[in-house]
Amino acid sequence: MTALPHSAAELLSAAAVRSQSARVTDHVRAGRGHFELHEDKLDVCAEFVASTTRARYPDLDIPYHSRWRHFSAPGSTLQATYEHHEEALDERERARAGFDLIVPSVLLDAGAGAVWSYLPDGCDERIGRSEGLGLASLGMFLAGQFSSSDSMTTDASALTSLTEEQLNAGFQISDANPLLGVGGRLAMMQGLGRAILERPEVFPHQRPGDLVDHLVRDSPVRATAVLDVVLDVLAPIWPDRLEVEGVRLGDSWFYEPFGTGVDAIIPFHKLSQWLTYSLVETLERVGIDVDGVESLTGLPEYRNGGLLYETGVIGLRDPSLAVVAHQPGSPVIVEWRALTITLLDEIAGRVKTVLGRPEMLLAEILEGGTWAAGRALAYERDPLGTPPLTLESDGTVF
């Protein structure tokens, strides 16, 4: 039986994400939720993920599912410009520069909506969704928009003074090219700046890159330690979220059938874990070892959750709920995300078997993988690639 959390602080971990999501999954499996669970379709889903993985990475040399996948586009010189900038830096400063780029980029990565797109210099086609958001944030970084000295760095002063006009210009936002949750994204950037200023012992130079030196004090670095630091230092930036026992819980939500106690709160920490995967890769790409990446969970967002829905692994008991707009804290969305956490682990085991690669990490399966398969199915159903359930986004969750 899963141990119940007794304090809010216990919810700030990947282990709590897994265990609390498993409780919701058991609730659904018992027939008491909004969803039905069809576990007989897990093998078909895993086969589709495996075939998608083979098509994307024929040699099965698969990188992590991280922000670094979203900085390239045919014709764009943005990634080459960043890599040229890196060449002049030593190993430790390359890691700091990577953190300076990755932290704001990931925090700006909640779903863009079906309409918004970005046109990088040199490209012939506009790029939407996560890739477009990644390129737009990289463009702002290279232009010095996150730096008070107009350099390719990020610092608290520039973040706290970032304006909506700057964000609109950097992301090419207009009435004809609207981006979901602009206000929420701006608030997170400004909140990131304030959070950095509040922790001089972690950020002595007032830049996200200071986290590198904070983390490498322990060797080897552990992925769970990266997540711990992310959840700690970024706690103040999440808007209007749960605070229990003086602990800011971020991407955590009450699940009504479980009551009103601490054990009724289901943590997901999606953006924090996405950031952690991306920071882990940032460290590893400069030769800093990180252990325990498998301790992190899958990402409970609408591509992975959509994969489960589109393949019939899960389905709504009341189909009309698919066309109703849901807030992130609604029981339907909490269930969907919890099922996604639990079932991604189930699918990962099957994908490893199908591909004959028992050593594959969940981060590689997500990249290979589940996220791309979910997106492909979404575009088969709808030319705009919308999620199968309607979400109300403030730019800080999905």
pLDDT tens-digit map of 283-293: 999 999 999 99
- In this structure, the number of other CB atoms found within 10 A of the CB of residue 258 comes to 18
Single-letter code of the amino acid located at 220 = P
Partner residues linked to 253 by β-bridges: 266
pLDDT digits (tens, 9 = 90+) for 205-229: 999 999 999 999 988 999 999 999 9
Residue 3's pLDDT is 77
Residue 122's pLDDT is 86
The per-residue pLDDT of the chain, averaged, comes to 95
Q: Which of 250, 272, 253 is nearest to 336 (CA)?
A: 253
Would you list the DSSP string of 213-247?
HHHTTSSSEEHHHHHHHHHHHTGGGSTT--EETTE
- Higher-scoring residue by pLDDT: 342, 113: 342
- For residues 69 and 324, give the distance between their C-alpha atoms in angstroms, rounded to a whole number: 33
Partner residues linked to 291 by β-bridges: 222
| 257 pLDDT above the threshold of 80 | yes
Contact predicate 357/59, CB 8 Å: no
In sequence order, what are the residues at sequence separation of 6 or more whose Cβ sits closer than 8 angstroms to the Cβ of residue 250? 231, 234, 235, 238, 241, 242, 267, 269, 272
Contact predicate 215/221, CB 8 Å: yes
Residue 112's pLDDT is 86
pLDDT digits (tens, 9 = 90+) for 345-378: 999 999 999 999 999 999 999 999 999 999 999 9
Torsion of CA 213, 395, 56, 293, to 10 degrees: 30
- In this structure, the number of other CB atoms found within 10 A of the CB of residue 280 comes to 25
Residue 114's pLDDT is 86
Tokens standing for residue 116: 């918004």
pLDDT band with cut points at 50, 70 and 90 for residue 296 = very high
In sequence order, what are the residues at sequence separation of 6 or more whose Cβ sits closer than 8 angstroms to the Cβ of residue 136? 108, 118, 170, 171, 172
Q: What is the mean pLDDT of residues 134-155?
A: 97
pLDDT digits (tens, 9 = 90+) for 37-95: 999 999 999 999 999 999 999 999 999 999 999 999 988 999 999 999 999 999 999 99
Tokens standing for residue 272: 């924090």
| 186 pLDDT above the threshold of 90 | yes
Q: What is the pTM of this model?
A: 0.95
Residue 398's pLDDT is 64
Partner residues linked to 252 by β-bridges: 267
- For residues 120 and 136, give the distance between their C-alpha atoms in angstroms, rounded to a whole number: 8
Residue matched to tokens 């899958």: 298
| 395 pLDDT above the threshold of 70 | no
H-assigned helices in the chain: 14-29, 42-56, 78-87, 91-107, 129-142, 156-160, 164-170, 182-198, 210-215, 223-233, 270-284, 302-310, 331-355, 362-365, 371-381
Q: What is the mean pLDDT of residues 323-339?
A: 96
